[in-house]
Amino acid sequence: MKILVCNVGSTSLKFKLYDMPGEKVSAQAYVERVGSRDDGIYTYTNLAEKKTFRQTQVAVPTYTEGIQLFLTDLISEEKGCLTGIGEIEAVGFKTVLSRGHYGVHRLTEEVLQGMEDYMAVAPAHNGPYLEAIHVFQKLLPQAALIGSFETAFHQTIPLAESLYAIPYEWYEKYGIRRMGYHGASHGHVAAMLLEREGEADQVVSCHLGGSCSLCAIDGGKSLNNSFGFSLQAGVFHNSRVGDMDAYIIPYLLKQGLTIDEITFGLEKNSGLLGISGVSNDLRQVEEAAEAGNERAVLAVDMFVNSIVSHIGAYAAQMGGLKQLVFTGGIGENSASVRRRVCRRLAFLGVKLSDEKNESSGKDKVISAEDSQVKVHVIPANEELGIARNVYRELTHVL
């Protein structure tokens, strides 16, 4: 069964075409700078023939053109791997949030309405996804369109961990609670540990990338996630705030800032960028910190602190820590963040092998032989989790 997985970013599109259940990827593509009239970048790879084609200065004014580029290549003589577009049986989307639909769902009008209803909670995600889904409805009318929502893996978080201590009727009336996101990534981590270690008990999975979240996993199931009602909460992110005292907002409003100025500040000018003033990219912040920039040093210290305190909280919730996992752009690449986090966790029995931590390779165990906690680096593979969810949904394989 051919399943196309589509990951829609605010200005990008990523595609992977899977052959299920074998999990082989036959083609993939990356469209950058969606929204641009003449300087989009489009990279397409036919994996069977190991051929990559890269085009720059491409017109991709909307998602429609980006999706068309890929579908055209899939059936082209030179690059393609399908005889017709009708071979695609399903498209799986890494959708984020739909009110009342938190798992893996066919994208019916009701589910799409739920995404509209929560547009204000996930504006950077729900808008682009709705647009892309409507394009696929037109271009691939025969295919099943399925949303594997980022909340799906977190349906097992107990209510006592997911509620805020707000008036209970706000939860009932407006649905306000911690949702948990990055479900495809943390779900993939749990699946990999179950496969490799035979268990996923007392695990903390750290997805550290452009946005960051930690997940407590026990018995292979999510027990907590640092994201909140929105994707702004928890550990602080590249340019988003993370956890913050809610009373700062009414205070700033009374100081004369508008709600738009405040949300812009919290979304685009906070986190690593907000504190360092240097960049939202950890590489540049680390470089500036090494060169002695005090605010960059502070930003990295705060970032590490927030990760360590979440891990401590989750170890307490689970009654211990057996495995720790780093994934995402920072988790996979920043040996220094991993080292600093692990050193602080010595009291929990974490002992890093500096040599393994510094070694190349993104899929590795980096703890010392005598560490009580096994520490892994596992490359993020959110698309595979989505392809599996879609396949399961269509075939009801448990």
Rule CB under 6 A: is residue 209 a binding residue for ligand ADP?
yes
Distance CA 13, CA 370 (A): 43
Distance CA 243, CA 249 (A): 13
Rule CB under 6 A: is residue 287 a binding residue for ligand ADP?
no
Q: How many chain residues interact with ligand ADP (CB under 6 A)?
A: 12
Query: What's the closest the beta carbon of residue 132 comes to ligand ADP, in angstroms?
Result: 17
Of 303 and 391, CB closest to ligand ADP: 303
Around Cβ 249, how many Cβ atoms within 10 Å? 15
Q: Helices marked H in 79-144 — which ranges?
A: 109-117, 123-139
Rule CB under 6 A: is residue 282 a binding residue for ligand ADP?
yes
Among 328, 387, 389, 393, binds ligand ADP (CB under 6 A): 328
Backbone angles phi, psi at 318, to 5 degrees: -90, -5
Rule CB under 6 A: is residue 19 a binding residue for ligand ADP?
no
3-state helix, strand, coil in the chain (%, to 5): 40, 25, 35
Query: What's the closest the beta carbon of residue 211 comes to ligand ADP, in angstroms?
Result: 5
Of 181 and 391, CB closest to ligand ADP: 181
Of 128 and 328, CB closest to ligand ADP: 328
Of 28 and 238, CB closest to ligand ADP: 238
Rule CB under 6 A: is residue 379 a binding residue for ligand ADP?
no
- Of 136, 101, 135, nearest to 116 by C-alpha is 101
Taking CB atoms, the residue at the shortest distance from ligand ADP is 329
Rule CB under 6 A: is residue 271 a binding residue for ligand ADP?
no
- Of 200, 215, 261, 212, nearest to 236 by C-alpha is 212
Of 37 and 283, CB closest to ligand ADP: 283
Query: What's the closest the beta carbon of residue 209 comes to ligand ADP, in angstroms?
Result: 2
Rule CB under 6 A: is residue 89 a binding residue for ligand ADP?
no
CA distance readout (Å), 271 to 117, 275, 292: 27, 6, 19
Of 310 and 322, CB closest to ligand ADP: 310
Rule CB under 6 A: is residue 281 a binding residue for ligand ADP?
yes
Strands 144-148 and 88-93: parallel
Distance CA 350, CA 342 (A): 6
Helix (H, G, I), strand (E, B) or coil at 224: strand
At 274, list the tokens: 């907000």
Report the run of H or E that residue 149 belongs to, with start and end. Answer: none
Rule CB under 6 A: is residue 334 a binding residue for ligand ADP?
yes
Query: What's the closest the beta carbon of residue 73 comes to ligand ADP, in angstroms?
Result: 23
Contact positions vs ligand ADP (CB under 6 A): 209-211, 238, 281-283, 328-330, 333-334
